[in-house]
Amino acid sequence: GLLAAQGRVARATMTKEETEVKKTKFLKAGKVVILLTGRYAGKKAVVIKTQDDGTADRAYGFCIVAGIDKYPLKITNKMSQKRIAKRSRIKPFIKVVNYNHIMPTRYSLEVDLKTIVNQEVINRPDARPNARKEVKKVLEEKYQTSLKTNKNRWFFNKLRF
């Protein structure tokens, strides 16, 4: 107390690098997140690519996600194959999202979308519809397998809130 008041206590000086705590990278590709703001608020998405330090045009941490805008409808055993096919449709979206606007979940989805959705698709609006169609195919395929195996069932259900 008294020595500190007189300014005699030597303070440990640390550089910025030493004080900065190493951040753990828990948002990896394949992690399921929930979007919190905007048009797709409350929708589930899967992380495709992360950019922790940002870029020249986006000076914040962000990730590229692909998610479900319109979820598949409920299916029963009585339904015909045609009706099941119609109700199993998924409307996907592709988006660049700031880390502040997503909530990570404990779930992950093993789906490879890196080849379909890349930086070039994000930068060129004319390439997006084709990429969206490809994502739709992959997600619908994953949905069909989830019906049989009961894996990833949570991802394809609408979030009730």
pLDDT in tens, 53-70: 888 888 999 999 999 999
Which residue's structure tokens are 């259900």? 157
Dihedral over Cα of 154, 158, 25, 121: its sign: positive
Which residue's structure tokens are 């609408």? 158
Alpha-carbon span 160 to 107, nearest angstrom: 17
Phi-psi region of 53 (alpha: psi -120 to 50; beta: other; left: phi over 0): alpha
Give percent of the chain above pLDDT 70.
85
pLDDT at 18 over 60: no
CA distances from 14 to 10, 20, 22, 29, 78 (A): 12, 10, 15, 35, 69
pLDDT digits (tens, 9 = 90+) for 72-114: 999 999 999 999 999 999 999 999 999 999 999 999 999 888 9
Residue 48's CB is within 10 A of a number of other CB atoms, namely 23
Question: Domain 23-156 falls in which CATH fold?
Answer: SH3 type barrels. (2.30.30)
Band of pLDDT at residue 2, cut at 50, 70 and 90: low
Length of the chain: 161
